[in-house]
Amino acid sequence: MDWQDRPVLVTGAGGFIGSHLVEALVDRGARVRAFVRYNSRGDIGLLSLLPAPTQQTLDIVAGDLRDAHAVAEACRGITHIFHLGALIAIPYSYLHPREVVETNVLGTLNVLMAARQLGTERLIHTSSSEVYGTARVVPISEDHPLQAQSPYAATKIAADKLVESFFCSYDLPVTTVRPFNAYGPRQSARAVIPTIITQALARDEIRLGALTPRRDFTYVQDTVAGFIRAAEVDNAIGQTVNIGSDQEITVGELAQKIITLVGRSVRIVSDAQRLRAEGSEVYRLHADNRRAQELLDWSPRIPLDEGLRNTIHWISAHLDRFRPADYQV
């Protein structure tokens, strides 16, 4: 598919995956409209870290996904929508479930309604591996039962089902991409890998919650490649596709690996403040990525050790952006 001069919208463009996706689409020649959440500081999030020539090509639109008019205007004149905008922090969803529901569920509904009204050619919707909850069978295929073990997971299940309903009811050309634990440069300390790296670089101990949960980590460039392939493949319309590595590692093993790569002697401490409620902890995520391989011709290319080295290098150069001593919700 030729992305040259194609008008594309990315919601959540100022976020971690969103900023990398924007950069990749610009590199392919797309005309990218970047929808970011409005704030009075004019803060465009992680888009501010993109090279200046890339930033200068962007049509940056500030608004709120909960505002149907703002969303519809952002979608006007667009052929492809990548909907990544969401509130994604699980601990934050414990504190403010209503805001998370309104943003993730009603925000998605607004995107769907705008896409339908405007005749958008393709909509790529972002799910989350958290919708599966703790694995009942591994690896986890797209047919695995959905389990809402946090308010955040519940909102993503609801949003996914709205997307499914618009495909079934209105033939809206949608694809749901379900990333497993993306990581890499620019990710905030809300996520476990930057949490470990920042503490390993700056402190004598790494404070974590549970060490036994198993996760499937995918480097952000691989994740973005999955999104773009999902938009390019017509047979992906109406499908949900896992984007994961088909490899798993415990949080404790991950911390030890990062300590070795950083090259400092650091101890690991379990911090009760960082623990999820027992029923909310997802103990195992391990992606079955065969559908992505067969349908999208996608598979991850960046091994975990290489991705961690890249992330450590980036965080080392931007450590002033982090607060290693604080627990970031």
List the catalytic residues.
152
Angstrom distance (rounded) from CA 69 to CA 73: 6
Task: Output the six-digit token pair for 181.
Answer: 């634990």
Q: How far is CA 1 from CA 4, 9, 26, 295, 301, in A?
A: 9, 17, 14, 15, 21
Rg of the chain in Å (alpha carbons): 19
Phi and psi, residue 33, nearest 5°: -100, 125
Q: Which of 83, 61, 76 is nearest to 118 (CA)?
A: 76
* Spacing of C-alpha 136 from chain mean position: 23
Let me know: does 242 contact 180? Beta carbons within 8 Å.
Answer: yes
Residue with tokens 């050309």: 173
Let me know: does 307 contact 183? Beta carbons within 8 Å.
Answer: yes
Q: How far is CA 258 from CA 193, 200, 207, in A?
A: 9, 8, 14
Angstrom distance (rounded) from CA 220 to CA 225: 9
